[in-house]
Chain A
Amino acid sequence: MRRRLPLLLTALATGLIVWGTVHGEVQEVWQKAVTICLSCVGIG
């Protein structure tokens, strides 16, 4: 089991991506990324 940890982690990460995509998280990432982040700029 321990030896297969890399494979399990990859499977878990893929599962998280699928779950997030199905539940609309990709759109939320995009919405935030296409507006100027005032925190990043150092203003708001």
Chain B
Amino acid sequence: MERLRRFSQYIFALIGNSYWLFPWKAPIYQGPVKRICFPGLNCYSCPAASMACPLGSIQNFLASFRTNLQAGILHPGTYVIGSMGLVGSVVGRMPCGWICPFGLIQEWLNRVPLPRIGLWRPLRWLRYVFLVVFVVLMPLFVVDALGYGSTWFCKLVCPAGTLEAGLPLVWLEKGLRAAVGWLFAWKLLVLLLIIFWSMVTSRPFCRVICPLGLFFGLFNRASWLRLRFLADRCVRCKACARVCPTGVLFFDGTDDINSTMCIRCLRCVSICPAGSVKAEFGPVMRRDYYGKKIGVGNPQ
């Protein structure tokens, strides 16, 4: 299963970044496929990017919401929300584990042999701040004199943009190199911090910052793909806790197995020696899915 997941990550990283003519033709891809939102964090200004970044796209819609409305155009970004919602409603946060190139990069970095540092669990709540404040409220309300907002998450936080677009474009384009200033230095600092953090902690960006991961994660409990923990079979070996890249603790009832943190890598399904973790798929939930706190000591 893990090999299949790794293969999927590489294939989708290639599909999302399949424009390799940028050194000779336009600096970024401008073809029709860029109408499609890529279900992962992959900056559309990356020279090789072939699809649109959903986070950048939704911020653009919100940033120009006022001016569009003044011109009589209602564009709240339903196409982007629907595209991501469609993916989320079927597989929940699975794209984070199987598709997202920035998730793959963090997994590479985490292989560096350094001492491991755990994540302070309350930091997970910061994801809501990044989603609500940086992706929704700031683009809508922090506007210039003409009423245009900005893509604040991309501008101040997104390390994928710096890594995939900022560094290559500044290297390739002389005009951009001349315009580099404090903002680029800030983004570079954020990127370096995330890189170092990823070396000592598993997927810190996904667990503390990523608004797209949170959006997908909100569907985890009600998506077609759901995980099921059979507590009466659990032997408390804690193998699931050891292999979970996002630190979901469901065997003792601390977290729900379908919590917003779960990236559906399915490692727990593969590793459990007692077969107490099952993945199920279907548009209609089982009758006993709701209404029970599941965990050892409170078997379903």
Cβ–Cβ contact B80 & A4, under 8 A: no
Write the nearest CB–CB distance from B225 to chain A, whole angstroms: 9
Question: Does chain A have a CB within 8 A of B60?
Answer: yes
A-side interface residues, number (CB < 8 Å): 37
A18-44 interface bits toward B, Cβ cutoff 8 Å, 1 = contact, 0 = none: 111101111111101110110111111
Residues of A within 8 A of B56 (CB): 32-33, 37, 40
| Contact of B186 (CB < 8 Å), options: A23, A41, A42 | A42
- The listed residue (A2, A16, A40, A43) touching B158 by CB distance below 8 A is A40
A5 engages B85 (CB within 8 Å) = no
B284 touches A7 (CB 8 A): yes
User: Which B176-213 residues sit within 8 Å CB-CB of chain A?
Assistant: 176, 179-181, 183-184, 186-188
Q: Which residue of A lies closest to B30 (CB)?
A: A34
Q: Mark B212-223, 1 if CB is under 8 A from A, else 0.
A: 000000010011
Q: Which residue of B lies closest to A7 (CB)?
A: B283
Asked if B187 contacts A25 (CB within 8 A), the reply is no
- Tell me the smallest distance from the CB of B82 to a CB of chain A, in Å: 3
Q: Is the CB of B161 within 8 A of A37?
A: yes
Compute how far the CA of A34 lies from the CA of B30 in the bound complex, rounded to whole angstroms.
5
User: With A14-B86, A39-B155 in contact, do A30 and B78 touch (Cβ < 8 Å)?
Assistant: no
Contact B61 A25 (CB under 8 A): yes
Determine whether the beta carbon of A6 is less than 8 Å from that of B284. yes
Minimal beta-carbon separation of B116 from chain A (angstroms): 30
B89 at the interface (CB under 8 A from A): yes
Give per-residue flags for B150-180: 1 if the beta carbon is below 8 A from chain A beta carbons, else 0: 1110110010011001100110000010011
Pick the interface stretch among B231-239, B246-254, B264-272, B285-293. Answer: B285-293
Please give, as numbers and ranges, the residues of chain A lying within 8 Å of B154 by CB-CB distance.
37, 39-40
A3 touches B285 (CB 8 A): yes
In the complex, which residue of chain A has the Cβ closest to the Cβ of B75?
A25
List B contacts of A27 (CB < 8 A): 35
The answer, among A12, A33, A39, A43, for a CB contact under 8 Å with B180, is: A43
Question: Could you tell me the distance between the alpha carbons of A39 and B184 in the complex, rounded to whole angstroms?
Answer: 9
Choose among A3, A13, A30 the residue that contacts B85 (Cβ–Cβ < 8 A). A13
For the complex of A and B, 10 pairs with smallest distance between CB atoms? A20-B79, A16-B82, A13-B85, A40-B161, A17-B82, A9-B89, A42-B187, A42-B184, A39-B155, A25-B79
With contacts A10-B90, A36-B169 taken as known, whether A42 is within 8 angstroms of B188 at the C-beta atoms is yes
Q: Apart from A16-B78, A20-B75, A24-B73, what are 10 other A-B pairs with CB-CB below 8 Å?
A: A3-B287, A4-B284, A6-B90, A9-B219, A29-B60, A33-B51, A33-B57, A34-B29, A36-B28, A41-B169
Q: Jot down 15 A-B pairs with beta carbons below 8 A, ordered by A.
A: A4-B284, A6-B89, A6-B284, A10-B90, A10-B283, A12-B82, A13-B84, A20-B80, A25-B78, A29-B79, A33-B52, A39-B151, A40-B44, A40-B151, A42-B180
